[in-house]
Chain A
Amino acid sequence: MAEFLQFLVTGITIGCTFALVALGFCLVYNASHVINFAQGDFVMVGGMSAVFIMSSGVPMWLALVLAVLIGGALGALLYKGGIQPAKNADAIQLIIITVGAALFIRGVAHVIWGTGYFSMPGFTGDTPIRFLGVVMVPQSLWVIGVTVGIVTALALFFTRTRLGKAVLATSYNRDAAKLMGIDTGMILVLSFGLAGLLGAVAGVIMTPITFTNYEIGVMLGLKGFVASVLGGLGSFVGAVAGGLILGLTEAMMAGYISSDYKDAVAFVLILLILFFMPSGLFGQRGVERV
């Protein structure tokens, strides 16, 4: 039982990161129908920035905020510099632009920070907590708490604020939203910026547990993509559920069976789900018009 609870905590912690990355995919997809392959690199930039801003003597909490803001700015910049100029491009061209952006961001990180692995201390120390036979670092609670906070804030944003509703309206029908007086250009910048912000938050809260490196964005991005497709592309609930399911499955597989194929879990899971539910768990079944 203690073993199971241990894997559960590990799974939820890592699942929270996947959920944040998946929410980033979701925001960008809803706003622009682009799959952003640089989403994982926002996570890397968040973690790396926090580590290096802290090491230059800036107080921790300020460093964390700055790192998250850098992520947000990077997201907005990706839209302004890469997606917006390619107005008439199709989905595949836009995907390649985001891949180019990912390589560019990784390249810049390589030049600035090198190829080493970096970590930073937990927000409130690293002394493990024991509870019901489960051992966990306090940072796990931070990861879970921050994720819950962000998901709640996003839910309130989309249901209670005019701006949030404008984002939703834009994702349902961009032209109609524009005709209703919504500044859709601004909404797009906002969505990309928010996606960058969420990615950076994931990076900042995970780095004390998992280390960071200029290349971690590749696998994280792919798994975040899996999580968002798992829940059904474009569904916010689906993104969170997909992230948690993926994290839990990974932790249980690694714990009970073998960790050799830990990274393969995500891809086997998504193939199985798609074979039986071609639009993911919470995706809408679209009707194609001819």
Chain B
Amino acid sequence: MSGNMTAPVRGGRKTNWKDVVFSPRYGGLATLLLVLLATPLFIEGLYQFDIAILVLINATVVIALNLLVGYAGQVSLGHAAFFGLGGYATAVLTTRYDWPSLLALAAGVVLVAAIAAVMARPILRLKGYYLAMATLGLGMIIYLIITQETWLTGGPDGMSVGALEVFGYTVFDELVWYWILAGLLLVMYWLAVNIVESPVGRALRALHGSEIAADNSGVNVTHYKTLVFVLSAGVAALMGGLYAFYSGFIAPNTAGFMHSIELVVMVVLGGMASLVGSIVGAALLTILPQYLVVFSEYEWLVYGLILMLMMIFMPRGFVPTLHGLIRRVLG
């Protein structure tokens, strides 16, 4: 290093109020906290709470998936299988083997994380469509096993699940569920912000750009890809288990291909590599079908059309597009 270096300028320019407002760490977290606190004031009835709870579950899964897809650039078309397997592990252990709720939940997460860790090395070696194919294949195998092993899982009809019991307290109330899941979403968001802004996040973005370049710059590519793959799978399993407890029932389609696609669409529609986007994407795609029910048999036709239009007109996703617009207006 030469001796006459000027003092480094942090970030290149002064941070102003816009950076604080628009930063995921401050503006994003504050907004999320406010929305989560205010939502129960505006919604009422079991039906609306049910939708809100589904949004919370999906948003948490999608944030973790976005770390894998949006930041690390590794597309997974089989993520629903991790969600479903977590749900089924919890369901089977509590109803057939009388395990305590939390232990079963943890076992589901450990099982899925272990599968993800074992599969990570051969799968994440693949690139582009070959990676998509492999994750799709793994997901389909898990889905088909769940559908076939009727003695354990109830087969295509699904199986019912008991209520979540935590230290003798049984969680029944929708509002309690809401706060539990809202808390988890906040934790997940906070965790993701910290990961993204840490050296791990930098490593993920580097390998998204070019794996060879990242590797040559000293980033342990395999290690970081495995890490984020296992993390996103584990989070999906945890939320799958909680979903099983919450809804009291689980069916194979939670692990199916269409659900996997739905999760990826939430990531892309909200905005790749946008954590706020993940929440918005999850909310949009969870709420949308509820309104499309009015189209009855035209439901899927309309859904497909909306999907196409949104991707054609907002390829970057909802939040980055909106963000760009607002920033341009503010100058």
Report A's interface with B, CB cutoff 8 A. 29, 35, 81-82, 85-86, 88-97, 99-108, 110-111, 218, 222, 225-226, 229, 233, 260-261, 263-264, 266-268, 270-271, 274-275, 278-280, 288, 290
Task: Decide: A271 and B134 in contact? CB cutoff 8 A.
Answer: yes
CB distance from A98 to the nearest CB of B (A): 9
> 13 A-B residue contacts at CB 8 Å?
A81-B308, A92-B69, A92-B75, A95-B132, A96-B269, A96-B307, A99-B304, A104-B304, A106-B300, A107-B299, A225-B136, A226-B137, A229-B130
Interface-forming stretch among B11-19, B41-49, B257-265?
Answer: B257-265
Chain B residues lying within 8 Å of A260, measured Cβ to Cβ, are 148
Task: Decide: A290 and B133 in contact? CB cutoff 8 A.
Answer: no
A82-B308, A93-B311, A226-B137 as given contacts; A261 in contact with B144, CB under 8 Å = yes
Using A82-B312, A267-B136 as known contacts, list a sample of 13 further A-B pairs with CB atoms less than 8 Å apart, ordered by residue number in A: A82-B308, A92-B69, A93-B268, A96-B268, A97-B311, A100-B304, A100-B307, A104-B301, A108-B301, A233-B130, A260-B148, A267-B138, A288-B127
CB distance from B294 to the nearest CB of A (A): 15
A86-B312, A222-B140 as given contacts; A275 in contact with B122, CB under 8 Å = yes
Nearest A-chain residue to B261, judged by Cβ: A99
Interface secondary structure of A, over-half rule: helix
A103-B300, A218-B257, A290-B212 as given contacts; A274 in contact with B133, CB under 8 Å = yes
CB distance from A270 to the nearest CB of B (A): 5
CB < 8 Å neighbour of B130 from A100, A222, A280: A280
Chain B stretch 229-274: residues in CB contact (< 8 A) with chain A: 257-258, 261, 264-265, 268-269, 272
Chain B stretch 289-314: residues in CB contact (< 8 A) with chain A: 297-308, 311-312
Task: Decide: B304 and A91 in contact? CB cutoff 8 A.
Answer: no
Task: Decide: A233 and B129 in contact? CB cutoff 8 A.
Answer: yes
Task: Decide: A96 and B140 in contact? CB cutoff 8 A.
Answer: no
Report if B125 contacts A (CB, 8 A): yes
Docked Cα-Cα span, A264 to B103, in Å, equals 31
Nearest B-chain residue to A275, judged by Cβ: B122
Report if B331 contacts A (CB, 8 A): no
Chain B residues lying within 8 Å of A280, measured Cβ to Cβ, are 130
A233-B129, A263-B144 as given contacts; A100 in contact with B301, CB under 8 Å = no
Docked Cα-Cα span, A266 to B272, in Å, equals 30
